[in-house]
Every structure is written in structure tokens, then in C-alpha cells.
């Protein structure tokens, strides 16, 4: 019974949108994610506060990308994209 419950929880987690966005972000090189995020930022209509948040996340993504930490860089880029509604 315990194994079935564990498998059910894993199935729910794997199907969640958060897991899907993180998993798909992990498959994209950070340079590509940054390119996509910057293209979205160029056409985004954001408040000053949201733009400041996006700029902060971009700086963090660049720093992690330069450190070859693609997973964390992609997460910061994905968070910026969410703020922009992408």
C-alpha cells in the first residue's frame, strides 16, 4: 500500500505545471533561455516595479549562466517570463 501511495504522489507531482516548467527549462541551454527572455522583455509592457523584478532576475540568470549553472539560470529566466506573462 505504501508503494502505491508513493507512486500516486509522484504521478501528481510529475503532472503539475510547476514541474513541467522546471523540467522543460532544464532541457534548454541557459543562453537560449536568456535570448528568449530578452526578446520577450523587449516587447513587454511592464510597470516599473515589474521591470525592476525582471531586470533583477535577468542579472541573476546571467550570473548563474556564466557560472555554468544552467538549471538555476533557466529558473531565473522562467520566473522573469512568468512576470511578463509568457
Q: Is 16 left (phi over 0), alpha (psi -120 to 50) or beta?
A: beta
How confident is the model at residue 28, as a pLDDT? Answer: 80
Q: Which pLDDT does position 2 carry in this prediction? A: 56
Q: What is the pLDDT of residues 48-63, one digit of tens each?
A: 999 999 999 999 999 9
Domain assignment of residue 78, given as a range = 2-83
pLDDT tens string 24-77: 445 789 999 999 999 999 999 999 999 999 999 999 999 999 999 999 999 999
Per-residue confidence (pLDDT) for residue 75, from 0 to 100: 96
- Nearest Cα to Cα of residue 76 among 40, 37, 29: 37
Domain count, the chain: 1
Amino acid at each position: 500500500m505504501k508503494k502505491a501511495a508513493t507512486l500516486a504522489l509522484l504521478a501528481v507531482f510529475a503532472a503539475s505545471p510547476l514541474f513541467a516548467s522546471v523540467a522543460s527549462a532544464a532541457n534548454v541551454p541557459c543562453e537560449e533561455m536568456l535570448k528568449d527572455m530578452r526578446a520577450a522583455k523587449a516587447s513587454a509592457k511592464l510597470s516599473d516595479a515589474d521591470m525592476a523584478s525582471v531586470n533583477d532576475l535577468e542579472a541573476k540568470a546571467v550570473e548563474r549562466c556564466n557560472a555554468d549553472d544552467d538549471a538555476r539560470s533557466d529558473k531565473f529566466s522562467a520566473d522573469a517570463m512568468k512576470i511578463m506573462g509568457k
